[in-house]
Structure 1
Amino acid sequence: MRAAIIGGGWAGLSAAVELAKAGVRVTVFEAAKQLGGRARSVEVQGQRLDNGQHILVGAYRETLRLMQEVGADPDRLLKRLPLELSFPASQPLPFHLRLPRLPSPWHLAAGLLAARGASLSEKISAVRFMRFLQGAAYRIGEDCTVKDLLDRHDQRGSLRRHLWEPLCLAALNTAPAQASAQIFVHTLRDSLGSGRAATDLLLPAADLDQLFPTAAANFIRARGGEIRVSTRVEAIDVGPGIRGESFDHAVVAVGPQHAAALLVRHAETIASAQLLAEYAFEPIGTVYCGYPPQVRLPLPMLGLEDRARAQVGQWVFDRGALCGTAGVLAFVLSGHGAWEELDNAALAATLHRQLAATLDRRLPAFLWYQVIREQRATFCCRPNLRRPSVRTALAGCWLAGDYVCAEYPATLEAAVRSGVAAASEILLSESLPVARRASAAGDNSAPQFLRHG
């Protein structure tokens, strides 16, 4: 059996790994010169940096499993830290929350109650909020925005500003006023509401290529598969056929806008194409600043106060503490905001001033900077967003991508899970008797969608 994977990002590579492991001959087509999609490494100032500072958490079970599967050791490549959120410039008091290494759920209760910079009433309200979600099995009924959900449960003050809203923006890359509350609650279920290890931050201690794409490519090749970079797929022929070759299955593992362009060519998938073409997108900016080696942060990840318009940053990461590149700091800017209006030089200078104010000390001038702007980094995770299913109505054609994983926002874990799901469905379809397989295809002649809420 032969399978074509269109897209060499984390979703496509996950599907390819699972299929190759099962003995399927896999060919991965990637339009770019390198694998990794929106989570890849780039060459900057003679150093290997990431196209964005990604954060993983202990709840990323499928990502961690596949890393181990292809020989990329998570214990070596990821720095595991307890969840620690620190906003030293917060007003009127600095905010700090750290979850202790206690059994669940005591780690969350103890961490919330010991948080500095929040009132006792806020802490009690936060504990009640989590207990309500747990009692409701993390279902909120009709979907709404995260802002409305927090308002409804009286989540206000410092914990709202420094816990719930930053978690929403980091996980969904969508502002709380527009973000889906149900998807946010799913992320809380699998992180704060799960075991203690699920809340740990897993910060890359190597470049993103080493975390998964390089090892995945080696894994695929070792099992007879092919990786074709700089190879764009413009159309999927009935069969399916890709660039004049016949395959038994094709997995479309590209962004929603690119998937729509491929699916719109067939009557069976035009409804899916129209759905994806309506998606809105959110940007992510990453600003790398190279300082003298002695410049360090008090923690590997630090929150930046952004209440004033002139303050645009949200988080800053110390790459020296994480990757051994002393003096290199990575500023992260999620979602639409004032930062988009600044040119690269002004943005770097503004973040430099914001960091100095956060640390309350004068910083030496940075030696270099690099700004990476991903205009369509993620889909906008709004309430009741319809998502396509893995199976399409076109015979032998499947979908993978973070937008397919209906319970999750646009994260690496969602991408990986979608790839695993596509591979599982393909293998299941091949294990069915021919007559039953034909019947199953008939049952799925209409596009399938999953709805949140």
Structure 2
Amino acid sequence: MDPQLAPRVAVIGGGCAGLAAAVRLTQAGFKTTLFDASHQLGGRARSITWQGLSLDNGQHILLGAYASSLELLQTCGVEIRTSLLRLPLKLEIPHEFSLRSMPALPAPWHILGGLLQAQGLSFQERLAAVRFMASLRLQRFRLPTDMPLHQVLASQPTRLITVLWEPLCLAALNTPIATASAQAFLNVLRDSFAHKKSDSDLLLPRADLTTLIVEPAANFIQSHGGRVNLNAPITSLHAQDHGVRLKSRTEEQDFTHVVIATSPFRVAPLLQTLPSMEDIIAQCQALQYQPIYTVYLQYPSAIALPQAMHGLAGKLGQWVFDRGQLYGQTGLLAVVISAEGKHQALTQSDLATKIHQELQDVFPRQLGTPPLWHKVIAEKRATFACTAGLPRPVQATPHPRIQLAGDYVSTGDAFLDYPATIEGAIRSGFQAAENIIKEH
């Protein structure tokens, strides 16, 4: 091959999608350069330092079904068994609800059996949950047409929605059930509960996401001949005879292929100089967003919760994580609030106070005193709103050398599309890279 035409790939954006694309491309021997406008890789999966501690920009969990996420970690040399705490599915809302899978049973009976024995539900409510899951499996978790999740749940008892389906929807889709895509929710249920038992396992990170994902991926890219450029915002793309020219404020560079792995609201400025991109730009600009708040509360180091992760029902807080049990950050609790809600009207100080009061109500024996300090991390546009029937841009663009990657990008098949998760981003990055690799 003419060296002038040898593949040179630019990946724009250093979040999970961009890192996954660059890892796969460098692994295949492609000359790859990763550009990120920030001084720090990771996008929303990055860490910050506060009070001498490394805190995640948002508290995340993985599932056993997240095959692409696990593949990325393994490729980058991360020791899965020590870096992730793997637990059989256990959803615990103290004094309200408890669901545990039954490891002795094969899938999906380990979940159906767990639902039949769930604590905090009447027999009729447990039976309704089992019938619902069984009917979804008979339908192969496919709907004739997408619709808001609350319509699919219309026959489910109110309490079952409150303690099970709504918390799962908020955790997976970060979108209220009144507008959330039922099909995207069913896609997650299918992958997590309908195949292997291990798919439903909870994988709780034992290190911050910079340590777990970002640094290993960056090291892999650079050790395999790729380049990582920080503080390198790309301002526009321009078509060339054999590829694409990238322009920044200070220079221009030519590449044979480009993967755009930025947030969707940053796509339009990059594509507006290229022909036939109006539909993609319009789809990206039409996306709405939902917030995620993570409230960190530092208590005395002797404080510990009964387990590493608990759900919270009927409160502003939705999930609480004991980072002492996960990260060794003793006494530090992280409370996650997904999607829009009343909490957005509170000041950060008032929100932290309210969350402490909620935790104190649930764990009176453990939390008898106020926290020593708090830190609220509010991502106002944490994820795209994964609403029913949402038109999402697909991977391929009208320019044959430009691919999109990101958790918002559609596979082109509604029965495979994921909501805005780490897994969805990594899958998309891998696929964008594979599309380029197949050309050669």
TM range (shorter): over 0.9
TM-score between the two structures when normalised by the length of structure 1: 0.91
Aligned with residue 152 of structure 2, among 149, 156, 165: 149
Q: Which amino acid aligns with 2:143?
A: I
Are the equivalent residues in 2 in contact too, given 1:95–1:158 (CA < 8 A)? no
Aligned partner of residue 228 in structure 2, secondary structure:
strand
Structure-1 residue corresponding to 2:352: 348
Deviation, 1:358, is 1.2
Are the equivalent residues in 1 in contact too, given 2:86–2:201 (CA < 8 A)? yes
Q: Distance in 1 between matches of 2:298 and 2:363?
A: 17
Q: Distance in 1 between matches of 2:269 and 2:370?
A: 46
Deviation, 1:194, is 2.4
Aligned with residue 20 of structure 1, among 17, 21, 26: 26
Q: Does 1:138 align with 2:145?
A: no
Deviations 1:346-397 (A, max 9, x none): 0000000000111244522211111100000000011111111111112311
Q: Distance in 2 between matches of 1:76 and 1:391?
A: 37
Root mean square deviation, CA, Å: 1.1
Structure 1, 101-110 or 170-179: larger mean CA deviation: 101-110
Q: Which amino acid aligns with 2:67?
A: R
Q: Does 1:85 align with 2:91?
A: yes
Structure-2 residue corresponding to 1:104: 107
Structure 1, 45-54 or 98-107: larger mean CA deviation: 98-107
Q: Distance in 2 between matches of 1:83 and 1:341?
A: 34
Are the equivalent residues in 1 in contact too, given 2:163–2:313 (CA < 8 A)? no
Q: Which amino acid aligns with 1:171?
A: A
Deviation, 1:213, is 1.2
Structure-1 residue corresponding to 2:256: 248
Question: Which residues of 2 match residues 437-452 of structure 1 at below 5 A?
Answer: none
Structure-1 residue corresponding to 2:270: 262
Q: Which amino acid aligns with 2:310?
A: L
Deviation, 1:100, is 2.4
Are the equivalent residues in 2 in contact too, given 1:145–1:383 (CA < 8 A)? yes
Deviations 1:265-289 (A, max 9, x none): 3222121001110100000000111
Aligned with residue 380 of structure 2, among 375, 384, 394: 375
Q: Distance in 1 between matches of 2:219 and 2:359?
A: 40
Q: Distance in 2 between matches of 1:291 and 1:339?
A: 22
Q: Which runs of 5+ in 1 are unaligned?
A: 431-453
Are the equivalent residues in 2 in contact too, given 1:264–1:274 (CA < 8 A)? no
Shift >6 Å, 4+ stretches: none
Q: Does 1:209 align with 2:202?
A: no
Aligned with residue 430 of structure 2, among 420, 423, 426: 420
Q: Which amino acid aligns with 1:35?
A: L
Q: Which amino acid aligns with 1:98?
A: R
Deviation, 1:132, is 1.0
Aligned partner of residue 236 in structure 1, secondary structure:
strand
Are the equivalent residues in 2 in contact too, given 1:13–1:213 (CA < 8 A)? yes
Structure-2 residue corresponding to 1:164: 165
Q: Distance in 2 between matches of 1:270 and 1:262?
A: 12
Are the equivalent residues in 2 in contact too, given 1:281–1:379 (CA < 8 A)? yes
Q: Which amino acid aligns with 2:20?
A: S
Aligned with residue 327 of structure 1, among 331, 342, 346: 331
Question: Which residues of 2 match residues 381-392 of structure 1 at below 5 A?
Answer: 381-392=386-397
Structure-2 residue corresponding to 1:113: 116
Structure-2 residue corresponding to 1:365: 370
Aligned partner of residue 239 in structure 2, secondary structure:
coil
Deviations 1:50-109 (A, max 9, x none): 0000011101001101110010122111111111111124xxxx2111112132122112
Aligned with residue 292 of structure 1, among 286, 289, 300: 300
Structure-2 residue corresponding to 1:43: 49
Q: Which amino acid aligns with 1:409?
A: P
Deviations 1:420-446 (A, max 9, x none): 11011001123xxxxxxxxxxxxxxxx
Deviations 1:30-53 (A, max 9, x none): 111111111111111111110000
Q: Distance in 2 between matches of 1:322 and 1:158?
A: 30
Deviations 1:142-183 (A, max 9, x none): 2111111000xx211332211111111100000000101111
Deviation, 1:326, is 0.5
Deviation, 1:216, is 0.9
Are the equivalent residues in 2 in contact too, given 1:405–1:414 (CA < 8 A)? no
Are the equivalent residues in 2 in contact too, given 1:113–1:124 (CA < 8 A)? yes
Q: Does 1:314 align with 2:322?
A: no
Q: Distance in 2 between matches of 1:312 and 1:129?
A: 27
Q: Distance in 1 between matches of 2:306 and 2:269?
A: 47
TM-score between the two structures when normalised by the length of structure 2: 0.93
Deviations 1:10-32 (A, max 9, x none): 00010001110111011000111
Q: Does 1:282 align with 2:298?
A: no
Aligned with residue 127 of structure 2, among 118, 124, 136: 124
Q: Distance in 1 between matches of 2:61 and 2:160?
A: 21
Q: Does 1:233 align with 2:234?
A: yes
Q: Distance in 2 between matches of 1:216 and 1:316?
A: 28
Q: Distance in 2 between matches of 1:395 and 1:107?
A: 46
**Percentage of identical aligned residues:** 45
Are the equivalent residues in 2 in contact too, given 1:96–1:116 (CA < 8 A)? yes
